[in-house]
Structure 1
């Protein structure tokens, strides 16, 4: 949650600075901001999803290993 808040704050700060320091017209600047924010957001979302997929795959692997170990114990008569 803190990461999301920090990301949104950073985006807002960038937009404000970009508008304040830009020599472009407002319409051109808004168009560029939308493109940049959309692109950056998609990269961050993709990275976050890939990280979560990795964690899920690790958990699945650990669960399978634990199940196999327990099965061996049960078959051995523990």
Structure 2
């Protein structure tokens, strides 16, 4: 089964990716809400914008890979 997940490219554009083993849209909603907040937080902490976007992207990839193991809050 394939699901649509939105990720961000290095230039900040939204990209649609087909990903196997979907998560019924919960991750997509999480990503859309939390990615901009994470980028902002990282820039406040001192990273340059592109470095913050790259770090946030890496964090979101790891979150997606481990999504089933992350407890709901």
Q: Give the structure, 1 or 2, with the largest relative contact order (CA under 8 Å, sep 6 or more).
A: 2
Q: Which of structures 1 and 2 has the bigger CA Rg?
A: 1
Q: Shorter-chain-normalised TM-score: which range?
A: 0.3 to 0.5
- Normalising by the residue count of structure 1, what TM-score does the alignment of the two structures yield? 0.39
The normalised TM-score by structure 2 is: 0.41
